[in-house]
Amino acid sequence: MGFLFVLAVGLVAGTLSGIVGTGSSIMLMPVLAYEYGPKEAVPIMAVAAVMANLSRILAWWREVDWRACAAYSVTGIPAAALGARTLLILPSQAVDITIGLFLMAMVPVRHWLTRHEIKANLWHLALGGAVIGFLTGIVVSTGPLSVPLFLFYGLSKGAFLATEAASSLGLYVSKSITFQRFGALTPDILLKGLIAGGSLMAGAFVAKRFVLHMKPDVFRLVMDGIMLAAGLTMLWNATHS
């Protein structure tokens, strides 16, 4: 029953993240931690996140902005490896609190930037990739951090989902390789990650039909909601860890 529950939550989480670009780790991680323990849950989620991002790329392949992806990934990939290496020696509670507050603050900031027509450029993506990549190596999920960055760059709907996923894919591959190198990604954990990731992949393709019919204004409102929810979740996790 526990295994089926992981798959069910993974399908729902994959559908949600396929619509708004993030949320799968936030939903699935507590279930994995309960089922397999927190020590195994982090590398399992890293493998599952690779598959989740890959599925969004496949679903929206034609809309990937490869220039934005390259700018973000060139700094994000090595930063993610460095973050994963320091995971065991750096307490994540303070990081979770900071990210949670940041996410909640980004909702009014995003609206302010939109009103003043301020957008991010490729240099901003490179700088954001370095910071977010390092944090991705440390905490379970920083997907909500990359969401406002790519929205500020001007991407929306399929182009946003595909480009954010393509950019994040390299970060999670780097994180998984680092875990494997230091003995945290055993064959058993890899198998569990592949199974959990399979349910996330299925959800991404279920989500595509919803995104295609979603108006841009509704999409942005959904993004505000998920950033607020993600921020509150990280604050709750930090206070209860």
Q: What is the DSSP string of 108-162?
A: HHHHHHHHTT----HHHHHHHHHHHHHHHHHSS--HHHHHHHHHHTT--HHHHHH
pLDDT for the residue numbered 74: 93
Question: What single letter denotes the amino acid at residue 113?
Answer: L
* 6-10, 26-30, 94-98, 207-211: which is most confident: 6-10
- % pLDDT > 70, the chain: 78
* 26-35, 149-158, 201-210: which is most confident: 149-158
For residue 47, what is the enclosing H or E element? helix 38-59
Q: How far apart are CA 149 and CA 157, in angstroms?
A: 14
pLDDT for the residue numbered 109: 73
CB-based contacts of 114-122 (< 8 A; 24+ apart in sequence): 118/152, 119/152, 119/153, 119/154, 120/149, 120/152, 120/153, 120/154, 121/153, 122/67, 122/68, 122/71
Q: pLDDT tens, 109-159? A: 767 766 766 678 899 999 999 988 888 777 666 666 777 788 888 887 778
Tokens 């905490």, located at residue:
139
Q: How far apart are CA 92 and CA 83, in angstroms?
A: 11
State the average pLDDT over residues 92-111: 71
pLDDT of residue 1 exceeding 60, the answer is no
Q: Are the C-beta atoms of 150 and 164 separated by less than 8 Å?
A: yes
Q: pLDDT tens, 176-198? A: 888 888 777 788 888 888 888 88
pTM (predicted TM-score): 0.70
Rounded alpha-carbon distances, angstroms, from residue 26 to 89, 94, 162, 209:
22, 17, 20, 23
Q: Are the C-beta atoms of 29 and 140 separated by less than 8 Å?
A: yes
Residue 92: pLDDT band with limits 50, 70, 90: low
Buried b (16+ CB within 10 A) or exposed e, 7-32: bebbbbbbbbbbbbbbbbbbbbbbbb
Q: How far apart are CA 214 and CA 218, in angstroms?
A: 6
